[in-house]
Amino acid sequence: MKLFRREPEAEADVRPTLLGVVTLMFLLLFFLLATSSGQRLGVVDLRLAAPGEAPPLPHAGLVKSVVVSLQPSAARVEFEVATTDIASSADTRELRAIDVPSSGDRVDLAALLAALETVHRIDGSQERAEVRPSPEVSTATLLAVLDVVRGSSQAPLFPRVSLQ
């Protein structure tokens, strides 16, 4: 029986292969470092309301409109809610507002997110929101608020944002 037993094969030397991989990685690293920059860009598409533009057709869901009034260190979420689902009733809308407090000298983004999620829970089909920044609001604050209003790709809130 011993005669038919296979002799254990000598292990293949994988070092040259691994060294090749490491060398390739090194080359790729240098190539990447030479051709790219450390700052990745992100683009926020906007819709700017034209002067005198007619308002969009009313939304069919419960939340008719969402407006975020933005100050440098505070915000206010105003939304119009239909108090009945009978579409023909003209005077059944109610304007509600949620004041977002400041966090230090900035807008409390967590509180803003909670306010917008509250509105989104009422009517998840509403995708539009309008942001009205005051003249002194910085671009950094505006972009941070736009990120919150749009939501993430996993949990979108109001992806169609317009600026007034």
Please state the closest distance from residue 139 (CB atom) to other proteins, in A: 4
Determine if 154 is a binding residue for other proteins (CB under 8 A).
no
Instruction: Identify which of residues 95 and 143 has a Cβ nearer to other proteins in the complex.
Output: 143
Determine if 30 is a binding residue for other proteins (CB under 8 A).
no
Which range in 46-54, 59-67, 98-106, 115-123 contacts other proteins by CB under 8 A? 46-54
* Binding test (CB under 8 A) with other proteins, winner from 82, 107, 111, 137: 137
Confirm if 66 and 79 have CB atoms less than 8 A apart.
yes
Determine if 37 is a binding residue for other proteins (CB under 8 A).
yes
Six token digits for residue 127: 């995708």
The region, left, alpha or beta by phi > 0 then psi within -120 to 50, assigned to residue 52 is left
Determine if 147 is a binding residue for other proteins (CB under 8 A).
yes
Determine if 39 is a binding residue for other proteins (CB under 8 A).
yes
Residue 75's DSSP bridge partners are 70, 100
Amino acid of residue 4: F
Taking alpha carbons only, the member of 160, 151, 144, 156 closest to residue 70 is 144
What's the rounded Cα separation, in Å, for the pair 60 and 143? 29
Taking alpha carbons only, the member of 66, 38, 29, 55 closest to residue 145 is 66
Instruction: Identify which of residues 53 and 91 has a Cβ nearer to other proteins in the complex.
Output: 53
Determine if 48 is a binding residue for other proteins (CB under 8 A).
yes
Determine if 27 is a binding residue for other proteins (CB under 8 A).
no
**C-alpha Rg value of the chain to the nearest Å:** 28
Kindly list the residues in this chain that would bind other proteins in the complex (CB under 8 A).
14-15, 18-19, 21-22, 25-26, 28-29, 32-33, 35-48, 50, 133-140, 142-144, 146-147, 150, 152-153, 163
